[in-house]
A and B are shown apart, each in its own frame.
Chain A
Amino acid sequence: MHDSGEVIIPIGPQHPALKEPECFLISLRGEKITAASIKLGYNHRGIEKACESRTYIQDLYLIERICGICSHSHSTCFVQAVEEIAGIEIPGRAKYIRTLIGELERIHSHLLWLGVAGHEIGFDTLLMYTWRDREVVMDILASLTGNRVNYGINTVGGVRRDIKPDHQEKILKAMDLLEERTKYYIELGSSESTLIKRLSKVGMLSRADAKNLGAVGPTARASGIERDVRKDDPYAAYAELDFKVITSDKCDVYGRTLVRLGELMQSFSLVRQVMQKIPSGPITVKTGRKIPSGEAVSRYEAPRGEDFHYVRANGTEMPERVKVRAPTLANIQAVSKMLEDRYLADLPIVIAAIDPCFSCTDRMVTLHDQTRHKKNTFAWETIRRKSISWYRQQGVDFKALNKKMAKLF
């Protein structure tokens, strides 16, 4: 990063002489990124293989834990494929309960994302506010399912727990509260010039590139691509519910923010509809433990985008093959494009804006300075702090906004 015209070798935790597996490899010419590549695999645990030696029910618990934010997405996507192979039609009430949990998950995920995005750009009061709001949803999820995360609500043939009458009021009250708060965030997003300036024209991804590179979810919708699995390939109760697919033509991080805010509003409405329309009846059908030979493809609109599962059964209690393509994998390819010819200071928010399903907190970033032929590796946190101070020098500073919001807290 520049300081009085010179190219400085940034300070920070360095790991010289270590065969450090780099996570982000960024080539720089001055302050501008010329190329970016991301190495994945840190979270590779061997889940697909493990699925083959566990029963379908055991696999539900394993697959839920692919990601600790969209655990219900993965669990539901998987169980839908299994039920399709077995020719199982789950009760209507179960479909609605899966939908409810799915939308509550989207709400907590998008609020979490807002906070993380705020943190990456130095707008930390946003993190405090949104994560406080998120706790309202976590409480409901814990009350409905017994856990804040990893709900274990699904079983092959339906769901394991029913909604109780006293949940209804809690849920509706929470939607009212969160809708008020989200309206405030939307206002913030459309009127605070510091925020708009910081996020606009950053991480540009044209509609053509988004399509070409296979982007999904809010990342794709913010580039004008009107695709949402809930509408295009409905599952659970979505065919019976009314909602809009939110898009933006901005093609930047600001657009991705607006899309998620819009989706929050749609989710509040969806939850209300679920509570109103949910049919009575059983929540599960009895099924055998063995799933007949066959294969199925299942798709689900997770908070981050299309989750894709393929399952092949062989007549036993254990699957022959389980394939999971999480949304982040589809979006990660677009990131290099978004970073091309951008400032290094944009790295943290551009990555955060695809809402990646990998922990950024300790990822190493290797900077390859092409003009001076030097390579150095830094902790993500260092890059984040430098990015905030770089933007401060450009006149984009969240100090005042943080102070103002802290007073209202």
Chain B
Amino acid sequence: MTDEEKIKQELENKFTYLKDAVIVKRKSRVFAAVPLEKFKHVFDYAVKNLGFDGLCAITGLDLGESLGVIYHLNREGRLTLNLTVALDKEHPQVATVTDYFPGADIYEREMVDLLGIAVKGLATGQHYPLPDNWPKNDHPLRKDWKGEAKHA
């Protein structure tokens, strides 16, 4: 059994709700869709028990009906485990993961600025990457963002 398949099995065994939600795309690429309310458990297990000791990036995205966040974890620089959660579009909120990875700070700020996702537990701080005087509630990465017409 490959490492990737082992990870799939361990996740599905530990968290029964992940059955059929973990996909081995290819070598070094495992994807899993995680229910939001269970996210912290799965994340914690991946980091503490499955050896995922690095966070490459966090991708926020607008999925149309909902917003999504993908946490791209990696193990020893080799294998990436990509955990996706879906968020309610009206009140999108996730908990910070800076307690696991201090470096996540800047990736979380990016989601706040560009998608308007609230990150609970993230220390108040600077904007990134938008300028300080960018209008509030104006999130360019949202699919329905009308800003381009303004700036054209």
Query: Within the complex, are A and B direct neighbours (CB within 8 Å)?
Result: yes
Complex formed: what's the CA distance from A168 to B28 in Å? 34
A10 to B56, CA, bound (A): 40
CB-CB < 8 A to A397: which residues of B?
A: none
A271 to B70, CA, bound (A): 36
Stretch at the interface among A109-117, A329-337, A359-367, A374-382: A329-337
CB proximity of A368 to chain B, nearest CB, Å: 15
CB A241 to nearest CB in B, in angstroms, measures: 18
Binds B, one of A146-154, A194-202, A209-217: A209-217
If A44-B129, A213-B103, A297-B82 touch, whether A325 touches B57 (CB-CB below 8 Å) is yes
Q: Quick check: is B135 within 8 A (CB to CB) of the other chain?
A: no
Give A151 to B102 CA distance when docked, in angstroms. 36
- The CA-CA distance from A213 to B105 in the complex, in Å, is 10
Inside 8 A of B24's CB, which chain A residues have their CB? none
Q: Which of B7-15, B44-52, B73-81, B85-93 contacts A (4 or more CB under 8 A)?
A: B73-81
> Knowing A214-B54, A233-B78, A308-B72 touch, does A321 contact B130 (C-beta < 8 A)?
no
**In the complex, are the beta carbons of A49 and B140 less than 8 A apart?**
yes
A391 interfacial contact with B, CB 8 Å: no
A300-323 residues with Cβ-Cβ distance < 8 A to B are 306, 308, 310, 312, 320-321, 323
Q: Is there a chain B Cβ closer than 8 Å to A5's Cβ?
A: no
Contact A46 B59 (CB under 8 A): no
A333 touching B59 by the CB < 8 A rule?
no
Interface pair B130/A333, CB less than 8 Å apart: no
Q: Are B77 and A296 in contact (CB under 8 A)?
A: no
Q: Is the CB of A330 within 8 A of B103?
A: yes
* Contact between chains at B56 and A306 (CB < 8 Å): yes
Contact, CB under 8 Å: B106 / A48: no
- Could you say which of B55, B82, B140, B141 contacts A214, with CB atoms under 8 Å apart? B55
Q: Given that A40-B129, A44-B129, A229-B77 are known contacts, is A321 also in contact with B55, CB under 8 Å in the complex?
A: no
Indicate with 1 or 0, residue by residue over B101-115, a CB within 8 angstroms of chain A CB atoms. 111011100000010
B106 x A329 contact (CB < 8 A) = yes
B-contact bits for A350-376, CB 8 A (1 contact / 0 none): 000000000000000000000000000
Closest residue of A by beta carbon distance from B107: A325
A contact residues around B144 at 8 Å (CB): none
Chain B residue numbers with a CB within 8 Å of A310 are 57, 59, 70, 72
Shortest CB–CB separation between residue B100 and chain A, in angstroms? Answer: 10
A332-B76 contact in complex given A41-B129, A325-B56, C-beta closer than 8 Å: no
Tell me the B109-152 residues at the A interface (CB within 8 Å).
114, 126-132, 140-141, 145, 148
Contact of A312 among B61, B76, B101, B107 (CB under 8 A): B61
The answer to the question of A72 belonging to the interface, with a C-beta cut-off of 8 Å to chain B, is: no
Chain B residues within 8 Å of A296, by CB: 25, 29
Query: In the bound complex, do residue B54 and residue A233 qualify as a contact, i.e. CB atoms below 8 Å apart?
Result: no
B-contacting residues, A377-396, CB 8 Å: none
Q: How far is the CA of A273 from the CA of B76 in the complex (A)?
A: 27
Contact A44 B130 (CB under 8 A): yes
Verify if A227 is at the interface (C-beta below 8 Å from B).
yes
Q: Are A332 and B106 in contact (CB under 8 A)?
A: yes
Contacts of B76 in A (CB 8 A): 227, 232
A246 to chain B, nearest CB (A): 15
The CA-CA distance from A84 to B27 in the complex, in Å, is 12
Residue with the greatest number of chain A CB neighbours at <10 A, chosen from B77, B102, B132? B77
In the complex, the answer to whether B59 meets A323 with C-beta atoms within 8 Å is yes
B130: contacting residue among A41, A295, A330, CB under 8 A? A41
Determine whether the beta carbon of B77 is less than 8 Å from that of A227. Answer: yes
A267-314 residues with Cβ-Cβ distance < 8 A to B are 295-297, 299, 306, 308, 310, 312
Q: A296–B80 Cα gap in the complex (Å)? A: 11
Q: Which residues of A contact B31 (CB under 8 A)?
A: 295
Per the bound structure, the CA–CA distance linking A233 and B28 in Å amounts to 7
Instruction: Known A232-B78, A310-B59, A333-B106; judge A297-B126 contact (CB<8 A).
Output: no
CA distance A212 to B31 in the complex (A): 23
List A contacts of B53 (CB < 8 A).
211
> How many Å from the CB of B27 to the closest CB on chain A?
9
Find chain A residues with CB under 8 A from B114 CB: 48
Listed A/B pairs (7) with beta-carbon separation below 8 Å: A37-B126, A44-B130, A212-B103, A233-B78, A233-B80, A321-B59, A325-B56
- Seed contacts A214-B103, A296-B25, A308-B72; 12 additional CB < 8 Å A-B pairs: A48-B141, A84-B26, A213-B103, A214-B101, A229-B77, A232-B78, A233-B77, A296-B29, A306-B77, A308-B57, A312-B61, A325-B57
A contact residues vs B (CB 8 Å cutoff): 21, 37, 39-41, 44, 46, 48-49, 53, 84, 211-214, 227-229, 232-233, 295-297, 299, 306, 308, 310, 312, 320-321, 323, 325, 329-330, 332-333
Q: Chain B residues in contact with chain A, CB under 8 A?
A: 25-26, 28-29, 31, 53-57, 59, 61-62, 70, 72, 76-78, 80, 82, 101-103, 105-107, 114, 126-132, 140-141, 145, 148
